[in-house]
A and B are shown apart, each in its own frame.
Chain A
Amino acid sequence: MAAPAIELRGISKRFGPVVANDRVDLVVEAGTIHGIVGENGAGKSTLMNILYGYHRADAGAIRIDGVPTRIARPIDAIRAGIGMVHQHFMLVATFTVLENLLLGAEGGPLLAAGAARLRAELARIGREHGLDVDPDARVGDLPVGLQQRVEILKALCRGARVLILDEPTGVLTPQEADELFRILAALRAQGRTVLLVTHKLREIMAVTDRVSVMRGGRMVAHRRTAETSREELAELMVGRKIQLRPDKRPVRPGRPVLTVRDLEVADDRGVRRVKGVSFEVRAGEIVGIAGVAGNGQSELLEAIAGIRSADRGEILIAGRPVRGASNARPRGVGHVPEDRLRMGLVGHLPASENAILGYHRRRDYVAHGLLRRGRIVDTCAGWLERYDIRPRAPLMPALAFSGGNQQKLVVARELEHDPELILAGQPTRGVDIGAIEFIHGRLLAMRDAGKAVLLVSVELDEILALSDRVLVMFDGRIVGELAAEEADERRIGLLMAGIAAEAA
């Protein structure tokens, strides 16, 4: 039998007091797609960054194709035939595609010869793999799906035989993700090895041959994908039994809390994205809005939250119109925005101050025009405890928390100020399973307490798990409404793709 493509033995790495990797072993057979799953902070990215030479291991050994290899810097990994697509793309946004590919592979002190060679190489790879990209397009102008393709091309142009992808689908639409998986399968067919790091079990089951599970910096299990299940992997990741689908009590909708009539909304460039949408959300129900990203859901949500003005139509909360976010909030609108870092948090402010943003005028937090610091910190500390946000450090800047913990902080703020209507935009984007279970549980608890919840998500699983009614948006319109009982993946999928309701 041929030597494995990658063999890691006893890899350990500490960041200060934090043990990111603890004596990790991993064997990856050549010509396979090998998945690595684990919750956020389990040490997956650190392990991959060590393999790529971006971080240096404190201890352990690496063998590539059976040969002991010292990887101290990225250049060592590149020479050993390893390429990596990082979670945050390592691209120069102001450069063209070709310039990005040239960087580090110039082939001489002058660019002209290397550029001509790469252009030809790019055309060849494009033909072979169906990976077409305009070499003269500015990378910053490309959609994320194409930017990721540039990252893959970067690795292939340097002759990578092993390709590491760190959370590659977090930023992709379902279609883009499918396209990516097609590319990965094609690479495997050529005998290349793919390491896929993710926390999405659906992806693991769909494309990998084998899977390794990490938890708390350790490798806890290795499985053949065909011989395992989502339930088993989820349990291994979290370390306890996990419910992938929450229990729901029967719905008892009350009076309408949110009424939207004939709403039209334009995006920043003035393009009409919401084209005459009407619906209602009642107390005690969760209404899910499904749809492929970019079909007007974001603009709809922002208009209801009062942070984007509508061109036409009405938004009524408890029967009265809203004007702007400052008007919506005191009327009991909690908003978990889609992009937590850009809109949900002020990164450099401590968790405690983030926990009261937008509610900072409330009596609980202000006395004589001054913030009641002690009280605010205590309140926040309580939420960190209840929502299991780690570390329990109310004075730590929001940026320093991991993505899942940041999201829980936003959710805590929006749910704990007693809202009547909750607007939840991608509430579990980039969040690990344990936190998803928790956030879903909290949203259902709000519903059972008689609150109205509007959920916007591109994750079909999430829509199906939570919604009492599902509205499907396509091209700015609501193209179908399904009750929870009649909603399934196939029906919603067809509506999302813009195929008429009758056909579904």
Chain B
Amino acid sequence: MDAIWLQTLLLADSTVRLATPLVFCALAGLLSERAGVVNIALEGKMLGGAFAAAAAAAVTGSAWIGLLAACTFACALALLHGFATITHRGEQVVSGVAINIVVAGLGPTLADAWFGQAGRIPLPGSDARFAPIELPGAGGAPAIPVLGPLYAEVVSGHNLLVYLAVAAVPTVAWILAKTRFGLRLRAVGESPEAVDTAGIGVEALRYAALLSAGLLCGLAGAYLSIAQNAGFIRDMTAGKGFLALAALIFGKWRPVPAVLACLLFAFADAAQVRLQGTPLPFVGTVPTQAIQALPYLLTLLLLAGFVGRAVAPRALGRPYVKDR
């Protein structure tokens, strides 16, 4: 009994770890897409953040400076995206894909030039990373039956960014629902002309949305390279940005359902790791590749069958042009 409970808790624990970057990115996608800008560049902005975090942390030895660098670089990419899509009314998907491609190449190239480690950036010491935080009482908690191990294994022992992601969910939901910025952001994604004629600038509003999205992508990237892992490697985001985008659509552009979708994907990923090499009843050992494909298969199935009609923000993907 206890062994099964412990296994479940370990699975839950790794689900939380794997969900963190997805949650940041899904919230980032939410902010920009509810404002009407398709953000297929989540992947590139997160990867850029991971690279900048590792580079800055490796040079300065400070995780905090790494975090700052990640957010700055991801925001710079968001500004670039905005310049193309908002100021010049460019195609949002095409410019987003361009950002993904540029960052995928730029990161390893610069890493190679600066650190000479074949495109990798290893971190020098433990100060350059965000360490796990032991919550009060976690040490003695396992003694308490059932809930004790839950507290010690799942709730406690994560790094700062995990807790930041947990806090970001209600924060973003609150901003969208209860603040002036949130109201305007939702409006500009549905009907930019209504925003314009209400005397509010459409462009500034969309820039603000993209920048807040950039900030969250930076957090996601920093988590990957200086919290979950110790350093930057080529393509370390491995499609998580796209997965977050799928979660966003699956969650119908709403914060809580989108985050639940992130948890589902993360759970599939965590289960996949545990299932590798484990013989299954009746089937025997399934090839690793087939198991690794599980989260993506799940995505396909969910998006194809169970989403129902996902109604996107009405002005999504449409640059704002005044009509005559």
Contacts and interface: CB of A to CB of B under 8 A. Distances in A.
Interface of A: 15, 20, 46, 52, 54-55, 73-75, 77-78, 84, 86, 88, 90-95, 99-100, 102-106, 108-112, 114, 154
A443 B187 CA distance: 44
A103 B324 contact: no
Interface in B174-197: 178-184, 186-187, 190-191, 193-197
A92 B194 contact: yes
A74 B194 CA distance: 11
B183 A73 contact: no
B307 to A, nearest CB: 18
A392 B15 CA distance: 63
Interface of B: 178-184, 186-187, 190-191, 193-201, 314, 322, 324
Interface pairs A-B: 7 shortest CB-CB: A104-B198, A75-B199, A106-B180, A90-B194, A90-B197, A74-B199, A92-B191
Q: Which of A52, A54, A92, A104 has the most CB of B within 10 A?
A: A92
A191 to B, nearest CB: 24
Given A74-B197, A91-B194, A104-B200, 7 more contacts: A55-B322, A74-B198, A90-B198, A93-B191, A104-B195, A104-B199, A108-B180
Contacts of B179: 109-111
Contacts of B324: 15, 20, 46
A90 B191 contact: yes
A111 B178 contact: yes
A52 B180 contact: no
B242 to A, nearest CB: 26
Contact of B187 (A15, A54, A92, A109): A92
A103 B190 contact: no
Q: Which of A99, A106, A112 has the most CB of B within 10 A?
A: A106
7 contacts: A95-B190, A100-B194, A103-B187, A103-B195, A104-B198, A105-B198, A110-B179
Given A90-B193, A92-B191, A103-B187, A73 B180 contact: no
Q: Which of B194, B196, B197, B201 has the most CB of A within 10 A?
A: B197
A94 B190 contact: yes
Contacts of B181: 109
Contacts of A106: 180, 183
Contact of B183 (A55, A75, A99): A99
Contact of B200 (A88, A103, A111, A114): A103
Nearest to A52: B197
A154 B314 CA distance: 21
A104 B195 CA distance: 7
A462 to B, nearest CB: 28
Nearest to A101: B198
Contact of A54 (B190, B196, B200): B196
B178 A54 contact: no
Contacts, number: 76
A92 B194 CA distance: 7
A111 B176 CA distance: 11
Contacts of B201: 73
Given A91-B191, A92-B194, A112 B184 contact: no
Nearest to B201: A73
A103 B194 contact: yes
B178 to A, nearest CB: 6
A73 B199 contact: yes
A95 B196 contact: no
A93 B199 contact: no
Nearest to B196: A74
Contacts of B191: 90-93
Contacts of B196: 54, 74, 90
B187 A86 contact: no
Nearest to A107: B180
Contacts of A20: 324
A54 B196 CA distance: 8
A103 B183 contact: yes
Contacts of B195: 103-104
A109 B182 CA distance: 10
A114 B180 CA distance: 10
B178 A110 contact: yes
Nearest to B178: A111
Nearest to A46: B324
B181 to A, nearest CB: 7
A24 to B, nearest CB: 16
Contact of B180 (A75, A78, A109): A109
A75 B196 CA distance: 9
Q: Which of A78, A93, A94 has the most CB of B within 10 A?
A: A94
B32 to A, nearest CB: 18
Given A93-B314, A95-B187, A86 B180 contact: no
Nearest to B200: A104
A78 B190 contact: no
Given A52-B197, A73-B199, A84-B197, A93 B190 contact: yes
Contacts of A88: 193
Contact of A111 (B180, B187, B198, B199): B180
A93 to B, nearest CB: 7
A273 to B, nearest CB: 25
